[in-house]
Amino acid sequence: MPTSEEKLQGLLDDLQQLTAYLHGRGEQTRALSLKFAENAQKDPTNREFDLSQSRMLDYQHQVWHEIGNMVEKLLKQYNK
Other C-beta atoms lying within 10 Å of the C-beta of residue 31: 11
Model confidence at 77, pLDDT cuts 50, 70, 90, reads very high
Question: Domain boundaries in the chain?
Answer: 23-78
Residue 30: Cβ-neighbour burial (10 angstroms; 0-12, 13-18, 19+): middle
**Structure confidence by residue, pLDDT tens digits, 22-68:** 999 999 999 999 999 999 999 999 999 999 999 999 999 999 999 99
**Per-residue model confidence (pLDDT) at position 79:** 85
Rounded to whole angstroms, the Cα distance separating 54 from 47 reads 10
**Per-residue model confidence (pLDDT) at position 80:** 74
Whole-Å CA distances, 10 to 2, 33, 43, 78: 10, 35, 49, 12
Residues 6+ apart with CB under 8 A from 35: none
Which pTM does this prediction carry?
0.87
